[in-house]
Chains A and B, each alone.
Chain A
Amino acid sequence: MPSFRLVERFAAFLLSANFIQAHHVERKAGSPQTGGLRGRGATVPPTGAGALRKARREQQLISKRLLRDDASEEAEGGCVAMILGETEIQHFLRLAQQGTEEKERERALVSLRRGLQHPETQQTFIWLEGSMRTLVGLLTSNQALLQLEAARCLHELSHSEQSAVAEACLPATSYLLTYLSGHSSDFIELCLYTLGNLIVESEAVRRQLLPQGIVPALAACIQSPHLTVLEALGYALSQLLQVKEAPEMIIPSVLGSTLPEHILRLLQPGPKLNLGVAVEFAWCLHYIICSQVDNTLLISHGGLSTLGLLLLDMAGAVQRTEDTGLELLACPVLRCLSNLLTEAAMEVVGGQNQLEDERVVAALFILLQFFLQKQPSLLPEGLWLLNNLTANSPSFCTSLLSMDLIEPLLQLLPVSNVVSILVLTVLCNVAEKGPAYCQRLWPGPLLSCLIGTLASPDIEVVGQSLELLQLLFLYQPEAAKDFLQQSGLQVLERHQEEAQLQDRVHALQQTALHQ
């Protein structure tokens, strides 16, 4: 269940009298380092969602992937990784560099890598003189397997929560970028995940990566046919797009590159759509779009129609119950669509970039039902899209009526207060279009539902119910009569003393009584 804070913020946001379309909520000042939650992959036990939400609010929510080649670790006999001291690190590095037998050199690096799983080893390593230099030397050697192991060591370091460790990896970044234009897909994948981790951890690293050409490097690499590379690239790019300076420093150059076209290409529905890849790039798109840098560009590249078709595709997957993990893709896609619909370019009626296909509404409801079963916390996001589809569109409002979707919508009311407010808002979108619409809303199950929501302890839910009532009374006068017969007045009376509601309650009482 969403927290009450979320309810208040959202309700106030929707209902505020000074709401303007391009409303910018002030970003909360980043709180000082509270050591907020950062996960560490499989070793973290499942944490309460409350703690994660707190971390997200404090902008401390940092995700990193950790690729561990568990298969090869098992082959080593499954030894537990130990913390390494200075001497041991030096020993392994020397062996790796100067050992006579290649297998021996490789094994030395494997031992180092496993030691580097420990933060203590990482600290010792970065403070040891010449260690990074040696590692970079091995990374750039032509001994392929040594190179791979050195890259894995670097990857372990990239997962550190200490920005000092990430910054110690700076000497390697130009090489990581160079290797992105190579051919070895496993190696490239590793470099990408490492870069993604480093990006998140330190602004100093980002300040170096940008002039080193990370954006063009990614734009070249995104043409790879390898799905594993693409998924890794999407991850790295999503981390890059998510950082706080992204709107000013990163997104403009991303938009100026060929990346947007490729991202949209990789989101095209069809037999070649790979879910893991699509999830990453959908999130990339979300970070770009919600930063409001130049969404018109994305629309002109056909972003809206690609996302619309993807929505249909996802609904189809739900129908075929091939929906494992689909919510991970649905979430960013819904966000992208909802935000894109607010662009001025969308105001051009009948333009080529319009989203007018009513199958989108059908698909959205299929997804809403899916969310209800699998991930109710995403219902608000789905309903947000429904609001944006119906707000200015008589056609979509008509679709809701003609496809008999009002009743299913009403069935969502009990889920939560946020969901109730959104459902009522969508109903208001329909009702405000006039008598032809209200006649299809009343009579029907709406009455008893409204009596129910009017009894809610939540002021915003009641408030939105009052708005809907006003519209119904205005355009469908019989509604007032029915309302009285169902003891609606008594329900209204309960709120007569409530400051935020009393004016509207009073007005409705007057209207009802004068019918």
Chain B
Amino acid sequence: MQLPPALHSRLAGGPGAAEPLPVERDPAAGAPPFRFAARRVRFPREHEFFEDGDVLRHLYLQDVLTQVTEAPERPRVPEFTCQVAGCCQVFDSLEDYEHHYHTLHRNVCSFCRRAFPSVHLLDVHILEWHDSLFQILSERQDMYQCLVEGCAEKFKTSKDRKDHLVRCHLYPADFRFDKPKKSRGPATPGAAVRASAEAPGDDGEQSGGDAMEVCSEHAASLPEPVGERRTSGHRIPSTICFGQGASRGFKSTKKKKGHQ
């Protein structure tokens, strides 16, 4: 297919529409026995027209057209220790360390040292566990927020919230990040420091047990400044960069190895 050379420079040029030639239709055009009429065509989801392209997509995902997608090789580095105080885990790859850090040290409550999978769950925890104002307010209004992202419901008690999670959101009744609290003494920072890496003696469900527990009774807590600073002040700042700027990108191109 020979394309006119000017086409390439047209592409490089600025936007613009051609001044249309005058349109002048004769009613006899497309009149019976003829039937042509210029129309935009629309194809719905399952139309056969999409068959070939869909097969192409399938093959791509199946890595037949390109080569098998492999997880990037993890470069091994000389062993190093986690720098967080109290943690002595050793690593020989940056990726492993990154996951460890995010799992155990990233969203950690500085009151009770529990680690959470996300900022959101940590914030809810701090609010419900370590915020005396929350306890007071919750007696008068619904304060226990639903844990599901995008659901704005709030509840009077943690039990009501759990019922909601199970009924409406089909969460498991023993959802790990919403466990009722066993009664404990007053929580004071520093007094109940639990190493974030839990002792392996726990059974499977509780291993590393950082259940998000709800305060079912008042716990004496230290006086805290009021307002937003309460929650944000106790998160560990996320200034860690793992230098993993290189992205996987379009994986298959890496595997071409000159076959193309």
Contact partner of B149 (CB less than 8 A), chosen from A47, A181, A315, A368, is: A181
Within 8 Å CB of B57, what residues of A? 63, 283, 328, 331-332
A227 engages B249 (CB within 8 Å) = yes
Of the candidates B10, B18, B26, B61, which one forms a contact with A63 in the assembled complex, judged by CB atoms under 8 Å apart?
Answer: B61
Name the distance in Å between A175's Cβ and chain B's nearest Cβ: 7
- Contact indicator A338/B196 (Cβ below 8 Å): no
Most buried by B among A63, A140, A434: A140
A61-B40 in contact (CB<8A): no
For the complex, what is the distance from the CA of A464 to the CA of B37, rounded to whole Å?
11
Given the interface pairs A175-B176, A384-B41, the reply to whether A142 lies near B53 with Cβ below 8 Å is no
A327 within 8 A of B: yes
Give every chain A residue within 8 A of B69 (Cβ-Cβ): 65, 67
- Among A206-221, those with CB < 8 Å from B are 208, 211-213, 215-217, 219-220
Nearest Cβ in chain A — how far from B67, in angstroms? 8
CA A63 to CA B209, docked complex, whole Å: 37
Q: Which residue of B lies closest to A30 (CB)?
A: B46
Are B60 and A328 in contact, with the CB atoms below 8 A?
yes
Given A72-B74, A174-B172, A274-B249, A24-B4 contact (CB < 8 Å)? no
Which of these, B10, B38, B50, B117, contacts A182 with CB under 8 Å?
B117
Indicate if the CB atoms of A71 and B26 lie closer than 8 Å. Answer: no
Whether B171 lies near A212 (C-beta < 8 A) is yes
Q: B11 touching A315 by the CB < 8 A rule?
A: yes
Which of A142, A368, A394, A404 is in CB contact (< 8 Å) with B20? Answer: A394
- Is the Cβ of A61 less than 8 Å from the Cβ of B22? no
Q: For the side of the interface on B, what is the size category? A: 35 or more
- Across the interface, do A362 and B7 meet the contact criterion of CB distance under 8 Å? yes
- Chain B contact residues: helix, strand, loop or mixed: loop
Segment at the B interface, from A372-380, A453-461, A486-494: A372-380
Chain B residues in contact with chain A, CB under 8 A?
A: 1-4, 6-8, 10-11, 13, 15-26, 28-30, 32-64, 66, 68-74, 95-96, 98-100, 102-104, 106-107, 115, 117-121, 148-151, 168-172, 175-177, 196-198, 200, 203-210, 238, 244, 247-253, 256, 260
In the complex, the answer to whether A174 meets B175 with C-beta atoms within 8 Å is: yes
With most chain B CB atoms within 10 A of its CB, the pick from A183, A381, A412 is A183
Contact partners of B32 in chain A: CB under 8 A: 503
Q: Is the CB of B13 within 8 A of A471?
A: no
Report Cα–Cα, A276/B19, bound state, in Å. Answer: 38
A-B contact pairs, 27 of them (CB 8 A): A6-B48, A47-B64, A57-B48, A61-B55, A71-B72, A97-B207, A105-B200, A144-B102, A145-B100, A148-B96, A175-B176, A181-B118, A185-B244, A208-B170, A227-B248, A290-B45, A325-B66, A331-B56, A365-B3, A392-B38, A408-B3, A412-B1, A432-B25, A436-B22, A440-B21, A467-B30, A470-B29
